[in-house]
């Protein structure tokens, strides 16, 4: 239940985001961010706010641990819309967290996948990928490299 304890604190975040999705693009946009995370419910929940100073928006993540199912639900909201995106759900195994959920991209149904990996006391990696073909293929479209400050 304390899987996200590593995230507590302030982080400098290097972002790489694919500029065009589902088009075979290899053009990545790179930009900085700062994230501040804290535990809630003694580690059974976690929240963070991330600020993208060169993009003019911020994001908020709520992570909740379901004690009975022993899995996490991750919810993301952007200040651009003020709405919660559908959750991705999963768990950690072997120091790696994988989380999956249903969403849409420009009206098209997709599967979303978040992966937390390369976790150390001072760094971590998060990546987002989408699948438009029922998880046969995945397109990674956003990578964050986090460094604790």
Mean pLDDT of 70-76: 97
What contacts 19, CB < 8 A, 6 or more positions away?
25, 27, 28, 29
Per-residue pLDDT of 22-68, as tens digits, reads 999 999 999 999 999 999 998 899 999 999 999 999 999 999 999 99
In this predicted structure, the answer to whether residue 1 has a pLDDT above a threshold of 90 is: no
The model's pTM is 0.94
Fold of 3-148: Lipocalin (2.40.128)
Per-residue pLDDT of 105-146, as tens digits, reads 999 999 999 999 999 999 999 999 999 999 999 999 999 999
């Amino acid at each position: 239940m304390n899987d996200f304890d590593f995230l507590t604190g302030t982080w400098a975040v290097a972002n790489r985001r694919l500029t065009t999705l589902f088009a075979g693009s290899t053009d990545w946009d790179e930009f900085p961010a700062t994230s501040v995370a804290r535990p809630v419910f003694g580690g059974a929940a976690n929240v963070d706010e991330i600020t993208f100073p060169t993009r003019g928006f911020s994001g908020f993540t709520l992570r909740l641990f379901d004690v009975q199912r022993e899995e996490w639900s991750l919810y993301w909201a952007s200040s651009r819309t003020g709405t919660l995106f559908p959750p991705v759900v999963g768990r950690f195994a072997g120091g790696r967290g994988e989380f999956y959920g249903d969403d849409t991209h420009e009206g098209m149904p997709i599967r979303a996948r978040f992966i937390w990996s390369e976790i150390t006391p001072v760094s971590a990696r998060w990546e987002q990928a989408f699948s438009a073909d029922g998880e046969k293929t995945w397109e990674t479209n956003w990578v964050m490299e986090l460094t604790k400050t």
